Amino acid sequence: MMVSIGQLSQQTGISTETIRYYERIALLPPAKRAANGYRQYDERDIERLLFIKRSRALDFTLNDIREILAFRERNEPPCQYVMTVMETQIDEIEQRIHDLEQLRSEIKALHEAGQSLPDDVQMKTCVCHLIQTSV
């Protein structure tokens, strides 16, 4: 069963612009064309797009996804590559969590200090001054 780009968009939740972009960057093979020139997609395209969508939701880069798909196209299991990517992601997430915890602490301290400061248009005695001087 063939579907149009609009139907593909509806079934996958991916915009038609993004589908065209994925074709341009070769994440999605070029669409087959109907006699009228309209793009047509099949079940394999739907499955591939859903895989791309889920991979993006897991924060895989487009290059990572391209590599995973290339493994599949070569009939090679991409599992070890995926495991390595996920290990890197875990490390990066841990670092981001650490950085966000530090940011939260800094903002909390500034907020607490700002509670007792007056409003000041000149920003010399208010919380804005603390922000300027804490950098």
Higher pLDDT, 115 or 4: 4
Phi, psi of 77 (to 5 degrees): -70, 130
What SS3 state is found at 61? Answer: coil
List, in sequence order, every residue forming a beta bridge with 41; answer none if it has no partner: 3
Burial of residue 106, with CB atoms counted within 10 A of its CB: 0-12 exposed, 13-18 middle, 19 or more buried: exposed
Higher pLDDT, 1 or 74: 74
- Cβ distance 44 to 10 under 8 Å? no
- What pLDDT does 128 receive? 76
Helix (H) or strand (E) holding 33: strand 32-33
Same domain, 43 and 87: no
- Tally of domains within the chain: 2
Range of the domain at 40: 5-61
To the nearest whole number, what is the mean pLDDT of the chain? 91
Same domain, 9 and 57: yes
User: Using CA atoms, how far apart are residues 107 and 86, in angstroms rounded to an integer?
Assistant: 31
> Does residue 66 belong to any structural domain of this protein?
no
Give the residue-averaged pLDDT of 49-63.
96
Here the CATH number for the domain that contains residue 55 is 1.10.1660.10
Phi, psi of 66 (to 5 degrees): -60, -45
Residue 53 has pLDDT above 60, yes or no: yes
> Does residue 103 belong to any structural domain of this protein?
yes
Same domain, 54 and 86: no
Same domain, 47 and 88: no
